[in-house]
């Protein structure tokens, strides 16, 4: 995704075009499901002066305007991905915390419909599939190496 495109996206959301914002968008373009801390690290590779707080502010601004989507699986810190407009869901590994995207199983509309809405006006259905990723589900009989190290869980 080129810089002019990113600028246009920001202007389209009535946001000023700034260096930290472009850097955050670029970082997310290359790293889906990044944490705030990871985004900060990526941004600082290009712009070491960017502050902690700026990344939080930028991510909040982008999230509230819909340019970026925030996900927060249990036990994980917040993660962000570029909103691509489609209604996709997530696979989360209970062991290593890795996340993969999946398209909505039933298409866009039906998965918005609970069986009984209790009077709620529903506008979004969020689905998280929990399980084990290929690596963590593999038999742990690796001859020379240790089983997959645990990451991301506290």
Partner DNA sequence: CGTGCAATCTTGAACGAGTCAAATGAACAC
Partner DNA sequence: GTGTTCATTTGACTCGTTCAAGATTGCACG
Residues at the interface with DNA (CB under 7 A): 10-11, 15-21, 35-37, 49-54, 56-58, 60-61, 72, 77-78, 154
Which of 70, 56, 62 is closest to 124 using CA atoms?
70
**Which of 129, 140, 150, 151 forms a contact with its own copies (CB under 8 A)?**
129
Known binder of ligand: residue 111? no
To its own copies, the closest distance from the beta carbon of 11 in angstroms equals 27
CA pair distance 49, 105, nearest whole angstrom: 43
Site string for its own copies, 51-80 (x = CB under 8 A): -------------------x-x-xx-----
Q: Is residue 102 a contact point for its own copies (CB under 8 A)?
A: yes
**Segment 15-18 long-range contacts (CB within 8 Å, at least 24 positions apart):** 15/61, 15/62, 15/65
Q: Which of the choices its own copies, DNA, none does residue 108 contact, using the CB cut-off of 5 to 8 A by kind? A: none
**Nearest residue (CB) to DNA, 94 versus 111:** 94
CB atoms inside a 10 Å sphere around CB 34: 20
Cα–Cα dist 150/33, whole Å? 18
> Shortest gap between Cβ of 79 and its own copies (angstroms)?
11
DSSP string, 13-46: TT----HHHHHHHHHHHHSTTEEHHHHHHHHHHH
Residue 32 binding: pick among its own copies, DNA, none (C-beta 5-8 Å cut-off by kind): none
Of 120 and 143, which CB lies nearer to its own copies in the complex structure? 120
- The token pair that represents 104 in the structure block: 């909505």
Q: Phi and psi for 110 in degrees, rounded to 5?
A: -60, -35
Q: What is the binding site for its own copies (CB under 8 A)?
A: 70, 72, 74-75, 89, 91, 93, 100, 102-106, 111-134, 137
């Amino acid at each position: 995704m080129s810089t002019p495109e990113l600028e246009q996206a920001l202007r389209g959301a009535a946001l000023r075009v700034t260096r930290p914002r472009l850097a955050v968008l670029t970082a997310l373009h290359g790293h889906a499901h990044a944490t705030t801390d990871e985004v900060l690290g990526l941004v600082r590779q290009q712009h070491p002066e960017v502050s902690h707080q700026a990344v939080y502010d930028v991510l909040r601004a982008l999230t509230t305007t819909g340019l970026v989507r925030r996900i927060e699986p249990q036990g994980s810190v917040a993660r962000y991905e570029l909103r691509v407009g489609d209604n996709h869901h997530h696979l989360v590994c209970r062991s290593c915390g890795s996340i993969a995207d999946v398209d909505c199983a039933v298409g866009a509309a039906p998965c918005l419909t609970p069986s009984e809405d209790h009077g709620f006006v529903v506008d979004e259905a969020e689905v998280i599939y929990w399980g084990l990723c290929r690596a963590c589900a593999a038999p742990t009989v690796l001859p020379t190496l240790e089983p997959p190290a645990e990451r991301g869980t506290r």
